[in-house]
Amino acid sequence: EADIYQTPRYLVIGTGKKITLECSQTMGHDKMYWYQQDPGMELHLIHYSYGVNSTEKGDLSSESTVSRIRTEHFPLTLESARPSHTSQYLCASSEAGTVRGETQYFGPGTRLLVL
């Protein structure tokens, strides 16, 4: 059973507000990821991290930012939320190394609605 947590699970917020989506894992994984899942279900990688103090942008351009100050914690921040940010955000993690076929472990997701 994966131990990766996301809070809040649901968030409804007004335009212009600053929000932070939390993601924590207790597996000691070095690699962490943020995906955006649109209503059509497709997943897009928006951020990833190799480890502490390492963050990279993913395939889909996003106005969000991330930080990785502790191994277990990978929060995502939107400085000014807009309706176009309405989506589901999924956090995931995997072990370090270059083994083929590594499993990614996903959190339950945060459903964000920006009014």
Partner 1 sequence: GNSVTQMEGPVTLSEEAFLTINCTYTATGYPSLFWYVQYPGEGLQLLLKATKADDKGSNKGFEATYRKETTSFHLEKGSVQVSDSAVYFCALERDTGFQKLVFGTGTRLLVSP
Cβ atoms of 2 and 94 within 8 Å: the answer is no
Q: Of 14-22, 60-68, 70-78, 100-108, which segment contacts partner 1 by CB under 8 A?
A: 100-108
Please give the residues from 5 up to 24 whose contact with partner 1 meets the rule CB under 8 A. Answer: 6
Question: Closest Cα to residue 70, out of 17, 18, 113, 32?
Answer: 32
Do 96 and 31 form a contact (C-beta atoms < 8 A)? yes
**Residue 43 makes contact with partner 1 by CB under 8 A:** yes
- Residue 16 CB, shortest distance to partner 1, in Å, is 29
53 lies in the binding site for partner 1 (CB under 8 A): no
98 touches partner 1 (CB under 8 A): yes
Q: Note whether 50 binds partner 1 by CB under 8 A.
A: yes
- Nearest CB to partner 1, comparing residues 17 and 30: 30
Question: Considering the rule CB under 8 A, would residue 40 count as an interface residue with partner 1?
Answer: yes
Label residues 59-87 b or e (16+ Cβ within 10 Å = b).
eeebebebbbeebbebbbebeebeeebbb
- At 16, the amino acid letter reads G
Rounded to the nearest whole angstrom, what is the least distance from the CB of residue 63 to partner 1 in the complex? 21
Does residue number 79 form part of the binding site for partner 1 (CB under 8 A)? Answer: no
